[in-house]
A and B are shown apart, each in its own frame.
Chain A
């Protein structure tokens, strides 16, 4: 009996600790979004209050949408992220298939070579990347960003996908070979559909650093027409520092897509992280 009571007390303490940290994690986000819907006076007088009919205001959002080309920035981010993920998944899966399916001279070495990029950040090559992009006239194009992000995403994608592809049954592939399928057909029609869950995990892992990156947009594509949301909001907020409504609204607009995607994909993402670590 006493044992049960201490375990209830312990569970209670655990909940208190977890709730406390959850508040620490969520509070700043809540604060930003709540205040973005308030007028200037309410933001300063009662920062912790949620918007009421009296304090409700969309002035910040109006400023943001009028002054900054956020829809354009958003499109750039979507194009860069989607195309990069598609290339990472396609090229990464192909390379992972080659590494996990065939034995050939240099296989291990190739795997190690591709794995280098998991630990060594691509950022360290920025000096020469910029020179290369200048030489090929790719500065201030989305192509430059897509190339960099594809290269950045490939190492982890190859690593995770080849782990998964090793689990695809050999009997299935050999049955395909007996039926006269080419190696390409085996890859695209038999193996790819089976590793779809792993592809989703890789997609989420690849997406976050690309969407959030500030360094490469700042260096490779700072032009108005190629700004991503991250760079766009950085510069916009820098210019509107004193306009708190605009700053809070810009932040909320930047948070919003991430929040929506997270609500949809959080299960997938968390399962991906935990499954990946189990391997």
Chain B
């Protein structure tokens, strides 16, 4: 690294105007700023405006007050937020531990067929929500009867219920479908982190008689904590921004009885309107602003608190 810095300093003196830097940066900068950053800022700005007496006017935090407290909005909003939290928790509790377990098994040295397992388990992650949503809708459908048939084989047929159609189980069912689809991501990232542990560390542990389970808990797990941090924040951002799967499986109304409504579907219905409800741009922007704040809070927490502490493990 050092020699490059000095050569750069020299070239800086020689060529005071380096237009090529601008040329290299500009295309990416223009598209990114115009299509992503400015609309994001504009959306945040619109969350402070609304139509009052036919006039488009600044209302301060008025939209947020309506969203949090107005009876027409608040019930839907808090319901969506609560469902979204449950959605996220199920991912954290089911997806990430299974992903870690799969990665731990795959990373056993000289395991046969491990490339095949890896490839197969990652496949669902590549499918679109539309495919995944409909496949599971068909499988769980009592009309087709695949799920009850399979459960009958293991003697659990009495457990079967039309989970997607019942308000008390629909959210869990949808979350598990999403877990099924996304398990490949934690699996791969943890797998990579496990492979990255230096052999000397493992050899030293083995010399000290730390093997098997205790080796995993005492040596490997602390070393893959940064990767667990990454998968947690990826899950968080993905979940609080989710929409497609629920839209596909349960429709824009996120039925039954809004029991699977999350912020993404609420944003869609609010902004574009659905059936009898008219689209409302300002309230749509307000919900988007809330989602932005939630994701920003999560990412900041990760960057400033978790990642900084975990850095120490890395080198």
Contacts and interface: CB of A to CB of B under 8 A. Distances in A.
A215 B116 CA distance: 32
Contact of B272 (A104, A151, A219): A219
Interface string A123-141: 1111111011000000000
A22 B121 contact: yes
Interface residues of B, number: 95
A112 B118 CA distance: 33
B271 A126 contact: yes
A254 B134 CA distance: 12
Interface string B23-37: 111011101101111
B160 interface: no
Contacts of A32: 135, 138
A114 B28 contact: yes
Contacts of B288: 124-127
A240 to B, nearest CB: 11
B42 A251 contact: no
A10 B28 CA distance: 51
Contact of A214 (B125, B248, B291): B248
A17 to B, nearest CB: 6
Interface stretch (B71-79, B83-91, B143-151, B200-208): B143-151
Q: Is the interface of A mostly helix, strand, loop or mixed?
A: helix
A161 to B, nearest CB: 11
A147 B21 CA distance: 23
Contact of A128 (B4, B40, B121, B295): B40
A212 B145 contact: no
Contacts of A194: none
A26 interface: yes
Interface in A117-159: 117, 119-129, 131-132, 147-148, 150-152, 154-155, 158
A31 interface: yes
Interface string A266-279: 10011001111110
A273 to B, nearest CB: 5
Contact of A47 (B29, B144, B267): B144
Given A91-B27, A102-B18, A119-B295, A148 B241 contact: no
A128 B127 contact: no
A170 B4 contact: yes
Interface in B91-139: 98, 101-102, 105-106, 108, 111-113, 116-132, 134-136, 138-139
B146 A31 contact: yes
A73 B267 CA distance: 26
Given A47-B144, A125-B288, A28 B136 contact: yes
A240 B209 CA distance: 62
Nearest to A13: B105
Contact of B119 (A94, A126, A174, A270): A270
Contact of A255 (B8, B116, B127, B271): B127
A43 B136 CA distance: 16
A82 B125 CA distance: 20
A247 interface: yes
B131 to A, nearest CB: 5
Given A18-B106, A124-B292, A184-B20, A91 B36 contact: no
B58 to A, nearest CB: 17
Nearest to A155: B32
Contact of A151 (B8, B31, B102, B267): B31
B53 interface: no
Given A121-B241, A212-B128, A103 B285 contact: no
Given A128-B42, A262-B123, A214 B244 contact: yes
B299 interface: yes
Contact of A183 (B20, B27, B145, B227): B20
24 contacts: A17-B105, A24-B180, A25-B121, A29-B135, A31-B139, A32-B135, A32-B138, A44-B144, A95-B28, A98-B21, A119-B295, A122-B35, A127-B43, A127-B284, A128-B38, A128-B40, A154-B31, A174-B7, A183-B18, A183-B20, A184-B20, A233-B130, A277-B227, A277-B230
**Closest 8 interchain pairs by CB?**
A212-B128, A125-B39, A128-B42, A128-B39, A277-B192, A98-B24, A151-B35, A95-B28
Interface of B: 3-5, 7-9, 12, 18, 20-21, 23-25, 27-29, 31-32, 34-40, 42-43, 46, 98, 101-102, 105-106, 108, 111-113, 116-132, 134-136, 138-139, 144-146, 149, 180, 183, 188-189, 191-193, 195-196, 212, 227, 230, 233, 237, 241, 243-244, 247-248, 264, 267, 271-272, 281, 284-285, 288, 291-292, 295-296, 299
